[in-house]
Structure 1
Amino acid sequence: MAFLVDQLDRLLDLGLADLAGVDEETLADRAEGEALAGSGTLVVHPSLIRPSTLATLLQRKGKPGYVVPDMSDLCDFTPIDGVEVPLTPFYVLDGIDRGDDLRDWSPDEALPEIASRGRTPLTISEGISWLLQRPEMLEPNHCFMTIASRKPKKTGALDKRTPGIWIGGGSPRDGKERDGAPKVGWCWSGNRHSWLGIASADGRRPLA
């Protein structure tokens, strides 16, 4: 993985400043440039850019990323209990793994397993941020869920959908023009999929 300062440059080249509605210099200042000498994955906090918007910066074979139509409420998905995300525009995620060994596990089954390993599941913004730096990690039959993001209901229970990122197949619902594009979708928390891993990381830390 490239140094954090190089990752910020890549995000700026992709058009992050335009999406955030600020100039590049201001955005770089928010990243606290003096703290960008290390490694890890630079994450864009949803308070800076919503994940539904950030997903449009994803690219695969010249096609931009998109969110499925029936997930228009993606911004209502928040970190689950036990997942503490730094409250800064950018932060760092260390030791990301796509979770290939957890393919064919449901999110409900995978969550305690990830915790038992001393790791943390990824949020959807973290998954997108990782792919913005490592687009090659999105492969046919090797995609992943981001189960740290869930939508709370008014009752206190969680919506059964869990977000994930995979490759669009050009279905009638999504449009033929999106065949092969990065796709933010969802699966039921109790369902298993042989082609979806459960992504996790060693931990999160602020830039400072």
Structure 2
Amino acid sequence: MTQADLTSPTSPTSPTTPLPLLPALGAQAARLIELGVHELAGLSAAELRDFAGAVGAAPAAEDSGAGAGGDVLLAVHPDRVPASALAPLLRREGKPGFVVTDMTDVDRFAPLGTVALPDAPLYLLTGLDRGDRMANWSPDEALPALTAEARTPLLLTEGLHWVLQQPRVLERNHCFMTIGSRLRKANGALDARTPAIWISNGTGRDGRERRDAPKVGWCWAGNRHTWLGFASATDRRAGTP
């Protein structure tokens, strides 16, 4: 790929149907409790339920539709529950999610310096978008475009929470990258890999038994993929559990 190839990204036609809505925050809390995520995070089930109840009843949440569901996501801070613990909890076609074998350092992918995380074990993301319109863009192209739109790229853990709560957001030919998470090398430079969540074809090291399973993998920051958008949100905010 030449530099000229990277100057004018074009996107394939995006689906016209809207993304499936998220459940209400209370139902999201119940889902995390069912999966044992609260225990991984060192929280009680009551703390998780109380958080969802408090933020779902707040005026800001009512304005955004959080109480009734929509595009508001309940997330656990990545310091509490890393990507490697969340990925196996995903399910598609009855098959568990997994991390590709050559990404043993998945939990070292940390938030970019431009991504501000609430200083709390639980927080909300609002205005979720899968970024289908940016399919066939590279991460290097997508990040400044999202920044210019005042949108924040999702972390890998946030993308996993999204799929945990709404599995239908992950579709064949319409999967997404989570470029808010990057790995820094010892010299401070960014590793060229960018994490993504898509659906395995059961080829190569994935193994035939994993065909159709949710998959955490990576792509080069300068490469384009027609089937990967760039997941983002409008905001992150904390609440009081």
**Gapped runs of 5+ residues in structure 2?**
1-21, 67-71
- Aligned residue among 35, 54, 57 for 1:34: 54
**CA RMSD after TM alignment:** 1.6
**CA distance in structure 2 between the partners assigned to 1:53 and 1:156 by the alignment:** 26
Taking structure 1 as the reference length, the TM-score comes to 0.93
Tell me what 2:204 maps to.
Answer: 172
Larger Rg: 2
Q: In the TM superposition, what is the alpha-carbon distance from 1:90 to its structure 2 partner? A: 1.2
Aligned-pair distance for 1:32?
6.7
| 2: CA distance, partners of 1:19 / 1:123 | 18
Partners of 2:168 and 2:227 in 1: CA distance: 16
* 1:197 and 2:197 are equivalent in the alignment: no
Match of 1:183, SS?
strand
How many Å apart are 1:171 and its aligned residue? 1.6
Show the counterpart of 1:10: 31
**CA displacement, residues 159-188 of structure 1 (integer Å, 9 cap, x when unaligned):** 000000000111230121111000000000
Between the aligned residues of both structures, percent identity stands at 53
| Distance apart, 1:17 and its partner CA | 3.5
Aligned AA (1:3):
A
Distance 2:41 2:96 in 1: 18
Distance 1:20 1:44 in 2: 7
SS at match of 2:197: strand
How many equivalent residue pairs? 207
TM-score (norm 2): 0.81
Q: What do the CA deviations read for 1:16-57 (whole angstroms, capped 9, x no partner)?
A: 23544665335546x474234331100121122111111111
The partner residue of 1:160 within 192, 199, 209 is: 192
8 A contact 2:25–2:53 mirrored in 1: no
**Any idea what SS the aligned residue of 2:124 has?**
strand
Give the Cα separation in 2 of the matches to 1:3 and 1:27. 14
Letter of the structure 1 residue corresponding to residue 208 of structure 2: K
Deviation at 1:118, TM superposition (A): 1.1
Q: What is the one-letter code of the residue matched to 2:116?
A: E
Q: For the Cα contact (< 8 Å) 2:25–2:52, is it kept in 1?
A: no
